[in-house]
Structure 1
Amino acid sequence: MENLTSSSTSSLDSTSPNSGRLISSTVLGLCCALGLPGNIAVLVVILPVLVVILRRSSRRPNFTLCLMLNLASSDVLCLATVPVWIYTLLHGWTLGRAACKLATFLLYLSLYANVLTVTLLGVQRYLQVLYPQMWNRLGRKGEAVLLLALWGLACALTAPAVATRDVRDGELKCQRHTGSDAERVAVLLLETLLGFVVPFSVLVTSYCCLHRRVNQTALFSSAKLTRLVTSVVVAFFILWIPVHIVNVVDIAGIVLQTSWPEASAALLRHRSAAARVVRTFTFFNSCLDPFLYAFASRRIREQPKSSSRGDSRMQVTNI
């Protein structure tokens, strides 16, 4: 995620060509214009349904519905910061040190919450379909604790980004400043491992196990479900892996500075060029999410039946 504010906001530097900054700001503006209404629509559609369900004390709300709401909320938070980054692209960072840290915190919080929510969708689907009794033991309070823990973990994961992001005297950049190359490498590795490798591994493992197990039963009868599951994994992979590939290139460039200075310079140069392209991918992911995770399911408003067998079948076709 280093590219998100180091290259998409602070690399938002004055040395970038005006045309490049205009193109980037235009793309970000389109993401915001399309994504904010889409995600707000998800909140408007899902929130009233969730409120009605919660008022029925005899019925437990569909946790997938809660996760859709959580995903839309994190996307709204992410896209709400876009005007700040567009302004910075065009005028540099003139908002001060505190605003730099606050904007960084909000951006990283939304991105980590987004990734963790998608990951929890995979884990929850796996457990609800294959081990419904285990999941049901959580209860409403357990599910609420899961959501609170998700946002708490997202807050904790933002700490390295906020701690290292600053505005230096005389600079119009809100960018990362580390005490050493080793510290920079450590932060980049942490972001790549916790922001992509671990969540994606959990997501793929959950869906692969689910597909293998469910495909052997009569429960797996919806081609639409297959498309939805595939879209979740493919969209997450396509839109996030370029960002972390750039992180890996950055790490390689730093590590090779002493032993292979020419190769290091070339890698860092290509990294800077690539970062200008991939920085918008995560914002586009937030723009795309409402279509993939909410509107793709026609039966999102339906709730599981009271019987355990009916509950399992509904969750298979509706989650």
Structure 2
Amino acid sequence: MTSSNNSSLDSTLIPASWNSGSLISSIILGLCCVLGLPGNIGVLVVILRRSSRRLNFTLCLMLNLASSDILCLAMVPVWIYNILYDWTLGHAVCKLATFLLYLSLCSNVLTVTLLGVHRYLQVLYPQMWNRLGRKGEVVLLLALWGLACALTSPTVATRDVVDGGLHCQQHKGSDAERVAVLVLQTLLGFVVPFSVLVTSYCRLHRRVNQTALFSSAKMTRLVTSVVVAFFIHWIPVHIVNVVDIAYIVLGASLPESSIPLPCQRSTAARIARCFLFFNCCLDPFLYAFASRRIREQPKSSSSGENRMNMPLGL
């Protein structure tokens, strides 16, 4: 009698959607929000308070990165709600939340990529970058957010309240539409930015290392951490994308072969999303605080050495 009452009570208090996977992913996302928001807000405060003069472009990118991370982490409670409960906020909020989340993620990727390109041009081709001018830098930042909006649009267009209004997620659509969105996300959201990032830093390191003025130990560690962190945090979600593409393609040509693929897909997708949010939590420590430590090392008598020793142009 007691066990049946307890079972009835548990089923009343604990929603059916709550399972170990959803609870663990929600806890991880909550921790990322609690740790990441203060860190990124701290970056904003430190940069703005310590920069009495006009901000240089790298500091603007740092502010841009922190702002996109804050926007992303601010959406965490919405997605925890989406994981644990049935979606009751309507179609408009689903679209808006999706737009803000993916806008922040796209802006994050583009900002990190631009940090690498800017550092490469600033050190090796400073005159070329200086010709851009202040107005050109403003246009570049506006173009970054415009491109982020453009990259976000396909995802927003294919996301809606599905399963009878239970979840805010990607709707089925046609196979061609789903594959196109997934391929676009993987190519423009990972393959191209990661290739540009690695190429910029590798060429920068090779060229600067040839000079006798450059001591590369600390910068090498920072650059390596930037590239490795980008790869580790973004590759899981794109592996899930590749699996989804394989499932769609195999489902059309070899239906029997595609049956096992969705079994663990939901769990894998939740883990991949946790990596993305953890990346936003790690950014202030990886970029701002690490850059500050290296910047505060004893200054060299050579202005050229000073410029090369400052990571990411700070």
| TM-score normalised by the chain length of structure 2 | 0.88
The correspondence for 2:191, drawn from 183, 188, 197, is: 197
Mapped to 1, the partners of 2:210 and 2:304 lie a distance apart of: 19
Shift of 1:268: 2.5
Query: Counterparts in 2 of 1:97-176, with a 5 A limit?
Result: 97-168=91-162, 170-176=164-170
1:81 maps onto 2:75 in alignment: yes
Contact 2:88-2:165 at 8 Å conserved across structures: no
Q: Larger relative contact order (C-alpha < 8 A, sep ≥ 6)?
A: 1
1:261 maps onto 2:255 in alignment: yes
Shift of 1:169: 7.6
Structure 1 residues 196-220: Cα deviation after superposition (integer angstroms, max 9, x where no partner): 0000010011011111111101343
Contact 1:79-1:286 at 8 Å conserved across structures: yes
Question: Mean Cα displacement is larger for which, 162-171 or 151-160?
Answer: 162-171
Structure 1 residues 224-278: Cα deviation after superposition (integer angstroms, max 9, x where no partner): 1111101100000001001101100110111011332222121232333321321
Mapped to 1, the partners of 2:306 and 2:154 lie a distance apart of: 43
Q: What is aligned with 1:48?
A: 49
Q: What is aligned with 1:274?
A: 268
Compared CA separation, residues 188 and 138, structure 1 to 2 (3 A): same
Question: In percent, how many aligned pairs have the same letter?
Answer: 78
Mapped to 2, the partners of 1:248 and 1:272 lie a distance apart of: 14
The correspondence for 1:212, drawn from 198, 206, 210, is: 206
Mapped to 1, the partners of 2:220 and 2:284 lie a distance apart of: 18
Contact 1:129-1:316 at 8 Å conserved across structures: no
Gaps of 5+ in 1: 1-13, 55-60
Shift of 1:98: 0.3
Query: Counterparts in 2 of 1:16-31, with a 5 A limit?
Result: 17-31=18-32
Shift of 1:222: 3.6
Structure 1 residues 118-162: Cα deviation after superposition (integer angstroms, max 9, x where no partner): 000010011001101101111111111111110111011110011
Instruction: For residue 290 of structure 2, give the secondary structure of its aligned residue in structure 1.
Output: coil
Instruction: For residue 119 of structure 1, give the secondary structure of its aligned residue in structure 2.
Output: helix
Larger Rg: 2
Shift of 1:49: 3.0
Question: Mean Cα displacement is larger for which, 94-103 or 309-318?
Answer: 309-318
The correspondence for 1:245, drawn from 239, 258, 261, is: 239
Contact 1:129-1:312 at 8 Å conserved across structures: no
Compared CA separation, residues 219 and 74, structure 1 to 2 (3 A): farther
Mapped to 2, the partners of 1:65 and 1:200 lie a distance apart of: 22
Mapped to 2, the partners of 1:299 and 1:315 lie a distance apart of: 15
Mapped to 2, the partners of 1:311 and 1:99 lie a distance apart of: 52
Shift of 1:298: 2.3
Mapped to 2, the partners of 1:212 and 1:133 lie a distance apart of: 20
- Amino acid paired to 1:230: T
Instruction: For residue 158 of structure 1, give the secondary structure of its aligned residue in structure 2.
Output: helix
Shift of 1:300: 8.1
Question: Mean Cα displacement is larger for which, 173-182 or 95-104?
Answer: 173-182
Shift of 1:295: 0.2
Shift of 1:16: 5.1
Mapped to 1, the partners of 2:163 and 2:227 lie a distance apart of: 43
Gaps of 5+ in 2: 1-14
1:68 maps onto 2:62 in alignment: yes
Contact 1:132-1:312 at 8 Å conserved across structures: no
RMSD (CA atoms): 2.0
Mapped to 2, the partners of 1:97 and 1:263 lie a distance apart of: 35
Q: What is aligned with 1:310?
A: 303
Q: What is aligned with 2:36?
A: 35
Q: What is aligned with 2:288?
A: 294
| Greater fraction helix | 2
